Amino acid sequence: MFSISDLKNTRYYQEVCYESELNLVMRLIERRIGGVSQDLQVKINKLSVEDLENLGLALLDFTSKADLVVWLNNQASSAS
């Protein structure tokens, strides 16, 4: 029998969590600053769940797409 801990470690569970987080962040972006380009979408899709959570919080302070671009570029710089 699987425990909750075992379930959370499965690839399927992790993929579902990622997709849920990504969908929420994309809806927040759409609501806050409008749609994004395909290029920005690709960058967002490459973020980890933790980074998506951080982006969701950062979105509260965004006023334009430029804020999103700066945030994504900072993430790319810190990952290098």
pLDDT band at 80 (very low <50, low <70, confident <90, very high): low
State residue 13's pLDDT score: 78
Tens digits of residue pLDDT in 16-25: 889 999 999 9
Specify the pTM.
Answer: 0.82
Tens digits of residue pLDDT in 21-47: 999 999 999 999 998 999 999 999 999
CA distances from 56 to 9, 15, 17 (A): 24, 18, 14
Task: Tell me how many domains the chain contains.
Answer: 1
Q: Which domain holds residue 64?
A: 4-79
Burial status of residue 65 (CB atoms within 10 A of its CB: 0-12, 13-18, 19 or more):
middle
Residue in the block written with tokens 């302070």: 61
Amino acid letter, 31: R
Tens digits of residue pLDDT in 53-73: 999 999 999 999 999 999 999
